[in-house]
Structure formats: structure tokens, C-alpha cells
Structure 1
């Protein structure tokens, strides 16, 4: 799915990743407690940050659709863990 499709699904399904985390989709950030997906240096990067240690890349994809399909599953998993 595309970034726009992901955002629509995220809103329509009322998904949450937790109050402590924020989601950033336009750049890679080293801010604490971020779950993100951003286009950087020619690839889509799914990343996460901790409280103090900067970001680390979870996966990289050449395709926006593949990246947001994976990111959706990651967000859905986090949502399900918090709500079950």
C-alpha cells in the first residue's frame, strides 16, 4: 500500500501504537520513542528509536508499497499487543 493508503487505514481502523510512541513518516528522526517509515537515500526505511540511543533500521525496501505493507503489519502488531 502507499503512504496515503496506510494513513487512511490507520485512521479508519483507529489504530494506536501507544501513548509513549510517536509515528514519523516524512524523515528519519533520532527523537526518543519513534516508530517510523521514511524515504531516505533512495530506499524506504522502517526504523525505531529507543529512549536515548538514536534510531536503528528494522528493514529497507525499494518499493513504497512493500515498505508500507510491512509497516502496517508492524503497527497492527503493536496495536494488538496494547489492546489484548
Structure 2
């Protein structure tokens, strides 16, 4: 995954940002990749992108804003769509 992230960063001229367990992940789901280590989704936030484990529930949200919290096992607990809030 790191090699793919670095290669994409060079091709897209955008920084690759790794996500850690407990970290908030948000952006637009842009693309899916299949590697020998699993499937990954590219999530772009306008300033860079992250590669996270892909799940079937993410696929129907391509080109849409998604957000979630990265888990220690590499997965993400997803929330789909923007929500209205106080924005504090």
C-alpha cells in the first residue's frame, strides 16, 4: 500500500497521507485498487489523499463525500454523506 501511495503521489502531484487507528478520515471516494495485500480505496480531501481498506459498502459512494474513523485493524467505520451540525 505504501508503494502504491508513493507512486500515486508522484503521478497526481498530491501528498499521500497515511491513516492511523483512531484517526478521522474524510474526503471523496475516488478510486479502488486491488493489490496482493487486499483492496484499497483512494479518499481525496483536496489537499492530499489516503488509501484505506476498501469495503463493498463504499463502492456505491464513488465520487461522493464519505467520512469515518480508522480502526486499529486497518478498517474504517464509515459514515456516508455530509451531515448538518453546529460545526464548532
The TM-score, its normalising length taken from structure 1, stands at 0.34
Higher relative helix content: 1
The TM-score, its normalising length taken from structure 2, stands at 0.32
